[in-house]
Amino acid sequence: MAEVELPADAGPQLEPEPEPEPEAEADSRSLYTVFAGSSPDDVAYAKVFWSSLSLQPPLESRLVSGDIKQRLKAAPPAGCKPSKDQCCHCHPSEADIKSKQLLIEAYMHEKEDEKARYLEKAQKRIEILDLIKKQREERIKKELVALPYKPKKIMQSQPEPASPDFSNEAQETYQALRQFD
């Protein structure tokens, strides 16, 4: 018969050990469950069952977890140079060089296009300013030609406000004239 020992907290004790033991061994033996008199298949099933019942604490409550990367890689010692595998940026591959060249060419092409657009806008601005200047000069010439033919404006002085005596006289004159009608 197979005899297997499992921790006591893994399940109920099926059968205590019958043989007497020294005191230190007795304490350690009391922590295990003995499957005496069981077939090897039953013992294997019991092992699997009781080991599946030991629950792990939730991931959040663990201080360290294997599947969470918690630390950065350690720096190499001060005197050592990094190996070729570790230093991939020192010797870029041919594909990296070609892609960088393509990016640089595209950037330069973009800059040229932008410069051409700015030059075009500057040229249009100059043309518009020239057109405005030309129109202004033509308008001034036309005004100079028409100047002698314009009627002259006579500046009329504002009548001084009448004194109260003058307004009374005007009313009296008006009434006298009305009588003649």
Q: What is the pLDDT of residue 168?
A: 78
Q: What is the pLDDT of residue 90?
A: 64
- The reply to whether the predicted model has a pTM over 0.75 is no
Q: What is the pLDDT of residue 105?
A: 95
Q: What is the pLDDT of residue 12?
A: 47
Nearest-angstrom CA–CA distance, 108 and 101 = 10
Average pLDDT per block of 10 residues along the chain, 181 residues long: 52 50 60 74 84 70 65 72 57 86 95 96 97 96 89 68 67 82 65
Q: What share of the chain is helix, strand, coil (3-state, %, to 5)?
A: 55, 5, 40
Residue 95 tokens, joined? 């594909």
Nearest-angstrom CA–CA distance, 32 and 8 = 4
Question: In degrees rounded to 5, what are phi and psi of residue 158?
Answer: -70, 130
Q: What is the pLDDT of residue 148?
A: 85
